[in-house]
Amino acid sequence: MEKGLSKEHSAISAMFNSIAGKYDLLNHLLSLGIDKGWRRKLVRGLKSSPAKVILDLACGTGDLTIALYKNGFTVTGADLSVNMLQIARQKSEKLEKMEQPIPDYIECSAENLPFEDSSFDAVTISFGIRNFQNRDIALQEIFRVLKPDGRLAILEFATPKNWVWRTLFNTYFSVILPVIGRMISKDTRAYRYLPESVKEFPQYETFCKEIERQGFNNIDFKPLTGGVAVLYFAEKLG
């Protein structure tokens, strides 16, 4: 991870295992709490569809998984990092019981999903896909496990198109955030990796084309907070 961006599963899971204990605190602090509103927008986008059973891929500590559960969905969270999953499980055990079972969590990679074909009404990924070792294979796997007419919802960071906003964002993301991240997490790499991984991730229309190449239709995206994050939706037509 020191040189360039290794996205090997072992490197990525080691990094997230190392920061898992401080992940939630840093997430909400560094985004000034805005990340919660972004996840809410994703959940709202799915509520308008008949989706019931959801796979929250790269679920991490389970913030989106839990938001989906609280909105009445049956959710399975999946992630590479055992420490992130452990926190997600602990948070879920404290949840007030609803009609549907509390989220189930599974350790696996996005590139090799341990689910039958056509298992889910929707697959969600928040701030996970830019870390995947092989996005094309992961998107093929997602397509496979989605039911016909199933939906894909992806929330991911982006670089704002407006230059004033982009300059502010780059300064914050590349200069301030790594320093605070390192101080709190004591991990020297993880919060330097974050801006680098956002910079190299394809954005907006370019990423939509990647999704389309794997067979998805009706691809749409919505920039959030001036384009700091983007919410993508796509469908597997029946």
Ligand X SMILES: C[S@@+](CC[C@H](N)C(=O)[O-])C[C@H]1O[C@@H](n2cnc3c(N)ncnc32)[C@H](O)[C@@H]1O
Distance CA 234, CA 165 (A): 27
In terms of CB distance, is 170 or 197 closer to ligand X? 197
81 is an interface residue for ligand X by CB under 6 A: yes
Task: Report the run of H or E that residue 68 belongs to, with start and end.
Answer: helix 63-70
Kindly report the backbone phi and psi dihedral angles of residue 129, in degrees, each rounded to the nearest multiple of 5, phi listed first.
-65, -30
Does the footprint of ligand X cover residue 131 (CB under 6 A)?
A: yes
Which CB atom, from 102 or from 154, has the smaller least distance to ligand X? Answer: 154
Strand 74-79 relative to strand 53-57: parallel, antiparallel, unpaired?
parallel
Regarding 109 and contact with ligand X (CB under 6 A), the answer is yes
76 binds ligand X (CB under 6 A): no
Number of residues that bind ligand X (CB under 6 A): 22
Please tell me whether residue 68 binds ligand X under the rule CB under 6 A.
no
What are the structure tokens assigned to 24, written together?
A: 């939630």
Do residues 81 and 11 lie in contact, with contact meaning Cβ atoms separated by under 8 Å?
Answer: no
φ, ψ for residue 224, nearest 5 deg: -120, 145
Which string of b and e fits 18-49 if b means at least 16 CB within 10 Å? bbbebbbebbeebbeeebeebbeebbebbeee
Residue selected from 60, 150, 160, 178 as contacting ligand X according to rule CB under 6 A: 60
Q: Does 132 bind ligand X (CB under 6 A)?
A: yes
Partners of residue 122 on adjacent β-strands: 54, 151
DSSP run (H or E) holding 163: helix 163-171
Question: Least distance from C-beta 238 to ligand X, angstroms?
Answer: 27
18 touches ligand X (CB under 6 A): no
Q: Decide if residue 128 touches ligand X (CB under 6 A).
A: yes
Q: Could you say which of 12, 26, 142, 230 contacts ligand X (CB under 6 A)?
A: 12
Residue 64 is a binding residue for ligand X (CB under 6 A): yes
Q: Which is nearer to ligand X, 50 or 123 (CB)?
A: 123
Considering only residues 19, 30, 58, 102, which one is a binding residue for ligand X as defined by CB under 6 A? 58
Q: Which residue is nearest to ligand X, using beta carbons?
A: 60
Q: Give dist(CA 19, CA 22) in Å, integer.
A: 6
Is 34 or 237 the residue whose CB approaches ligand X more closely?
34
Find the farthest-apart pair of alpha carbons in the chain and give their distance in angstroms, rounded. 49
133 is a site residue for ligand X (CB under 6 A): yes
CB of 100 to ligand X, least distance (A): 20
In the complex, the residues that contact ligand X under the rule CB under 6 A are 12-13, 16, 27, 58-60, 63-64, 79-81, 84, 109-111, 126-128, 131-133
